[in-house]
Amino acid sequence: MIELENVHHDYGDHKVLGGISLTLAEPRIAIVGANGSGKSTLARLLNGLLLPTSGRVRVDGLDTKKDGKAIRRKVGFVFQDPDIQIIMPTVAEDLDFGLKRHGLTRERRAAKVTAALLEHGLDQHRDHPAHLLSGGQKQLLAIAAVLITDPTHLVFDEPTTLLDLPNRHRVTRLITGLTQQVVLVTHDLDLAATADRVIVLDHGTVFADGPPARSIDAYVALHTA
Amino acid sequence: MLSLYHEARSPVHRSPAGAKLAVLLAVGTGLFFVRSIAALGAVLLVVALCYAVAKVPARVGLRQLRPVLPVLIAIVIAQLVLTGWVTAVLVGQRVLVLVALANLVTLTTRTSAMIDTVEAVLRPLRPLGVRPERVGLLVALTIRFVPVLKEQADQVRAAHRARGLRGTRFLTPLLIKTLRLADGLGSAIEARGGPD
Ligand SMILES: Nc1ncnc2c1ncn2[C@@H]1O[C@H](COP(=O)(O)OP(=O)(O)OP(=O)(O)O)[C@@H](O)[C@H]1O
Ligand SMILES: [Mg+2]
């Protein structure tokens, strides 16, 4: 469970989030909102990548201000652009990157990497340079490299925005099949509609929050007025 | 020069990364004591032989040399003008041997093995404040992002040309793009558990 208590966030003197309180307990939550409404800022607060200017963010009782490291182990984060998320030069090495910090034996790590390569259809690309993969494969790799460390929560910031239709479907299927708690920032309203709860951000505050159909209607109405 | 791993089964691939790096270091130092064109020619032949043993096709080996050719030619011409043809040939041979050997090490060693070695070598320096994991990460990031930066540079330059702009003005947007990449990358490393 992720809890936000009266969270404000400013970049310098630019106020981006103004007093957000939320209890995120549903398995699948989508966050929608216009460009610049503060979605990515909110997402980055959830795993302590950003700390609130005031207020508090807690994950399973841990405070992001004190237990950032422990929280980032629990909360996996997938960025919009896999090009910044893939750190190691080859596919297998990147999958191994996060595992190295989990104190597993070399054999156990190798087994997990092989399983992940097979599961995500990347086994042909084990030793290929990551920058030569297609956009869809890069995003699959980025997601696989986060999943391999067994996080209990996942935050996605527009994971399908840069993808073509087939890859969008593939990544969507992967996300909807996850058993972890998922918080998903997206502009894809069809994808948002598959969530249990949809939160609409507008100028850094919660404009609507509830079942997908109701929230999405409110969002559409807000921007057709 | 930052070539990537070329998969094959060979004794060169199987040799420990540390041993390969040690040979590279030793040859790199030793080269400067060899002052005969014939001897350096023989060294070049041995290097070529190593490529054959490592089962790296000539095509792949030569492709990795191409990016350094302009630099090599510039060095040789400079030496030719400044010191005469014998030194020019010697210097050219040395650079060629070094680059070819360095490429061979990268072609036959997984980055992860290379990083493990670098980290192991640096571990005794930990009390002096050296963080081996950080150096290892730096090596990995360099190999990973040089091609990405090159791609970005090409893109920005193409966009400029399409708008009829010339000269070095593309450097500013490229710098901005690179800084943004570095910023995003910082977050990504942190999100993925950082170097320690
Ligand atoms: N590092 C930063 N420094 C200063 N201002 C920032 C920074 N990051 C974001 N902002 C500003 O904060 C506001 C909210 O940005 P944020 O990225 O959270 O929006 P978003 O809802 O994710 O938008 P988008 O749909 O375009 O991704 C924007 O006005 C943006 O310009
Ligand atoms: Mg955003």
Which pLDDT does position B114 carry in this prediction? 84
Q: Residues with Cβ < 8 Å from B139, sequence gap 6 or more?
A: B111, B114, B115, B118
CA distances in angstroms from B186 to A132, B8, B172, listed in the order given: 22, 34, 21
Same-domain status, B32 and B101: yes
Here the tokens at position B27 are 């040859």
Residues on chain A touching B193 (C-beta within 8 angstroms): 69, 72-73, 98, 101, 149
**What per-residue confidence (pLDDT) applies to B171?**
79
Question: Containing H/E element for A182?
Answer: strand A181-185
Q: Write the residue with the smallest CA distance to atom 17 of ligand 1.
A: A40
Is the domain of B103 the same as that of B140? no
Same domain, B68 and B32: yes
First-to-last alpha carbon distance for chain A, in angstroms, is 35
In a domain, residue B95? The reply is: yes
Question: Per residue in A33-51, pLDDT tens?
Answer: 999 999 999 999 999 999 9
Whether B141 and B120 map to the same domain: the answer is no
With respect to residue B6, please indicate whether it lies within any of the assigned structural domains: no
Give yes or no for a contact between B68 and B1, defined as CB atoms under 8 angstroms apart. Answer: yes
Picking from A200, A220, A201, the residue whose alpha carbon sits closest to that of residue A210 is A200
Whether residue B5 lies inside any domain: the answer is: no
Q: If you measure from the C-alpha of residue B142 to the centroid of ligand 1, how many angstroms do you get, rounded to a whole number?
A: 28
pLDDT at A114 over 90: yes
Of B97, B125, B153, the one marking the end of a domain is: B125
Strand partners, A129: A90
Q: Give residue B77's pLDDT.
A: 92
Structural domain contains residue B67: yes
Share of chain A above pLDDT 90, in %: 82
CB distance A152 to A181 below 8 Å: yes
Q: Is the confidence at residue A144, as pLDDT, over 90?
A: yes
Structural domains of chain B, count? 2
- Give domain status of residue B179, yes or no: yes
Question: Are residue B60 and residue B111 in the same domain, yes or no?
Answer: yes
Question: What is the structure's pLDDT at B196?
Answer: 59
Task: Name which residue sits closest to atom 28 of ligand 1, judged by CA.
Answer: A36
User: Rounded distance, CA A201 to CA A219, Å?
Assistant: 9
Are B44 and B81 within one domain? yes
- Probe site for chain A from B9, B139, B144 (most A CB atoms < 10 A): B144
> Domain boundary at B84, B106, B125, which?
B125
Which residues in B52-77 are b (16+ Cβ under 10 Å) and which e? Answer: eebbbeeeebeebeeebeeeeeebbe
What is the rounded average pLDDT of the residues A71-82? 93
The predicted model scores a pTM of 0.81
Domain identity same for B97 and B170: no
pLDDT in tens, A7-35: 999 998 999 999 999 999 999 999 999 99
B86 and B179 inside one domain: no
Same domain, B20 and B107: yes
Nearest CA among A127, A173, A118, A170 for reference residue A148: A118
- Asked if B25 and B17 touch (Cβ cutoff 8 Å), the reply is no
Output the CA–CA distances (angstroms, integers) from residue A137 to A108, A128, A140, B157, in the order listed.
24, 12, 5, 26
More confident residue, A8 or A100: A8
On the question of pLDDT at A117 being above 80, the answer is yes
- B75 and B146, same domain (yes or no): no
Residue at which a domain ends, from B109, B125, B141 = B125
Q: Are residues B76 and B156 in the same domain?
A: no
Instruction: From the CA of A41, give the closest atom in ligand 1.
Output: 18
B65: domain range?
Answer: 11-125
pLDDT at B55: 94
Measured distance CA(A160)–CA(B169) in Å, rounded: 33
HSE-up (13 A, CA, CB side) for residue A54: 5
Q: What is the largest CA-CA distance in chain B?
A: 56
Residue with CA nearest ligand 1 atom 10: A11
On the question of pLDDT at A138 being above 60, the answer is yes
Per the domain annotation, does B1 fall within a domain?
no
Decide if pLDDT at A98 tops 90.
Answer: no
Residue B28 included in any domain: yes
- The phi and psi torsions of A7 (rounded to 5 degrees) equal -85, 125
Q: What is the pLDDT along chain B (196 residues), one digit of tens a residue?
A: 344 778 889 999 999 999 998 999 899 889 888 889 999 999 999 999 999 999 999 998 998 888 888 889 999 999 999 888 999 999 999 999 999 999 999 899 888 888 888 888 888 888 888 888 888 888 888 888 887 888 888 888 888 888 887 777 777 888 888 888 888 888 899 999 876 5
Residue B63 lies in a domain: yes
Q: Are residues B20 and B95 in the same domain?
A: yes
